[in-house]
Structure formats: C-alpha cells, structure tokens
Structure 1
Amino acid sequence: MAQSRLEKIGTIFTRVQGLLRGGAMRSEDKPIWYDVYAAFPPKAEPRFDRPAPEIPVRNIFYAEDVVRAKLHKQNRPQETINLLDHRRTTQSQHFVKIYQDLKSQGALDEQRIYDTALDLLAEQRQQSRLDTAAAEENLPELDAEVKTQLVSDFKEAASNQQITSSTSPAPSKARKDTGVGINIDSLFKD
C-alpha cells in the first residue's frame, strides 16, 4: 500500500500524494483541490494534532434583532409561518418595517416608537381581517358565476360528444361490445 489511511498519520494532502506516487490512484482521478493545494499551501499545515486557535466568537446583532426580540418577549406570535413561502412577510417583519419607518422620522423616543408600531401593526391586522371577510362575502356571487359557467361547459361538451357519436357510429358499437355495461351516449342525454 502507498501509505496509511489513518487520519492521525499525515494530512489528506500527503495521503493523496502517496497514493498518486504509488500508483494506487491515477492522475485523472485526483481530487480537484489537489493542484490548488500544491500551488498555494497553507501557512500552518492542517494536521490532526494541531491545537485549535483561541479566537473569541463575536456576537453579531443587528438593530432589528433587538426590536424583534422585544416584540416576541412581550407579545406571543399569533401566526403560523411557512419557511418555504418567501413571498409572504411575517408579522414580525411588518413590525420591524413599521418600527424602522417611525424611527427614521425621529420625532419619538424608543418606547413610544415601539408602542406606536404595535398599534399600527394591530390596525393593519384588523384591516386585513376586514378585507378577508369582505372577500368571503363576495364569494357566493362568484360561486353562482362559476356554477353557470360549469353548467354551460358541460352542456357544450355533451353536445360535442353527441355530434361526434352520431358522425362515427363504429366506435360506439365497439364500446358496447366490450362488456363494460355502461352506455356513454345515455349519460349525457337530457
């Protein structure tokens, strides 16, 4: 064998290099990263026994994160969120947008901006509920239109089928001979 496959001996680069030299791996099969690593080796070799650097992890907070956290702490979310739907914005996104718009005007302090944004969000929710209720009231009229359209479409299809069956009698006789027991011509008669 060209070299050991144990991860504690050498690096992945030295192991692939050994496989290439020993003929266990063809040069066409070498990984894409091999030539890049050979051309630009890292400053510190990535070995198993190398200690991890002690770099402190920075906290990354955006201004809207603090506002969103305050919103969710004081008000329990009342919506179901579909993570696959990118077109619809959530209530917290609406709230942050309202909050930022009010803050950009600069006339109020932080607490008043927060309270005003909550009130405006509640008004928007109420308005959307009213719009939904109004749309549901208009549905019966729409249903009547859809029903008449469906009835006319079925009548048209029935008349088209009767015309087709009267012009070509041979296929209808073949259907009757199959033994299914259903006469399609009689289904659409008035």
Structure 2
Amino acid sequence: MAQSRLEKIGTIFTRVNGLIKAGAMKYEDRPIWFDLYTAFPPKLEPRFDRPAPDTKIKNIFYAEDVTRAKFHKRTKQNETVNFLDTRRKTQTQNFIQIYENLKTQNPLDDEKLFETAVELLAEQSKNTSTEKSSEATDEIKTSLSNDFAESLDKEGRNKPGVNVDIQKLFSE
C-alpha cells in the first residue's frame, strides 16, 4: 500500500485516491463506490476524531410487543427459525395472529385472551404435528409400495436383475 493503514491518517477515500495518483492502482480498477463518493461527498469528512452527534434515539414500540414478550417469558420455545423461508410462520407469529383475532372478536380481559390464545396455539400445533406425521407415514408407505411394485413383473414375480429384500424394506 502507498499509505498507512491507520484510520488516523486519512479516510479510505483519501487512501484509494492516493493509490490512484501514485500509480499503485489503475483508475479502471477503482472500487464501485469511488465515483459515487466523488460525485456526492459527505458534508463532514468521516474522521476518527470528530465527536459523535448528540441526537436522541426514539424508541420503536409496537402494540404487540408486550404480548410477544409475555408469550416468550411464559413459553420456552424450542423451534428452529429459518428467516429465509418466509412462507412458514413462526410459533410467535401464529400466537400474535390468534391473539389479535380473539381481541377483535371479543374484547375481554387481556389475561383471559392470553390464556385462550395459548390454548388455541397448543391445539393448533398439536393438530399440525399429527397431520405432518401422518403425511410423512403416507409418503413412506407410498414410496415403499411403488418401489415394490416396480420390482415385480406382470405375473408378480421379481424382474430379472432386480434384487428386493423385503425384510430390508420393512426394517427402516
């Protein structure tokens, strides 16, 4: 590098600019942000010794945050959350949705609504888990029967060259 790597001796822009001027970096190899920075430089140069601005940070608070915190405090979650899969809702999202639906239908005491929502969520998760397990069992049965059917010829005998061990099929 043509200059020091210390942040106290210039910004990244001045260092890249110095490399280009010194010939250590070709102008064609400049970073993507370099042209943007030269076209729209900041009002104040970003330096290490400039004091941070004294601005008050506003609290972001949503109405369902209290309910969410109460839910997380009461129930210990053991589900794996995949943030990349947006099609599937988390248990907390399902709970908030149930709670909000109950709240709009009958505005009762918050504690009763919370208890009812927890019970409904438990029932819903129980139903979906039994449905998933029965679907998985059906898939395995279908897969095994298809494999077995493919290994037989029209008369019901094993096709030549196909070895099917029935005990192996049912041991899994």
Same fold (TM over 0.5): yes
Match of 1:116 in 2: 116
Deviation for aligned residue 1:101: 0.9
Structure holding more helix per residue: 1
Structure 2: distance between partners of 1:47 and 1:10 = 7
Structure 1: distance between partners of 2:132 and 2:3 = 70
Match of 2:11 in 1: 11
Match of 1:152 in 2: 149
Deviation for aligned residue 1:110: 2.2
Deviation for aligned residue 1:7: 2.4
* Worse overlay, 47-56 or 64-73: 47-56
Aligned residues between the structures:
159
Match of 1:40 in 2: 40
Give per-residue Cα distances to partners, 1:103-161, cap 9 Å, x unaligned. 2235323223212212322332444466568x38xx59x84x765544432223954x4
Match of 1:93 in 2: 93
Match of 1:81 in 2: 80
Kindly name which structure, 1 or 2, has the bigger radius of gyration based on alpha carbons.
1
How large is the RMSD of aligned CA atoms in angstroms? Answer: 3.5
Distance of aligned partners of 1:106 and 1:53 in 2 relative to their CA distance in 1, 3 Å threshold: farther
| % identity of equivalent residues | 48
* Worse overlay, 96-105 or 108-117: 108-117
Contact kept, 8 Å, 2:81 with 2:90, in 1: the verdict is: no
Contact kept, 8 Å, 1:8 with 1:48, in 2: the verdict is: yes
TM-score (norm 1): 0.64
- AA of the residue aligned to 1:154: S
Distance of aligned partners of 1:52 and 1:115 in 2 relative to their CA distance in 1, 3 Å threshold: same
- AA of the residue aligned to 2:82: L
Kindly indicate whether residue 66 of structure 2 is the aligned counterpart of residue 69 of structure 1: no
Match of 2:58 in 1: 58
For structure 2, the residue ranges without an aligned partner over 5 or more in a row are: 165-172
Match of 1:180 in 2: none
For structure 1, the residue ranges without an aligned partner over 5 or more in a row are: 162-183
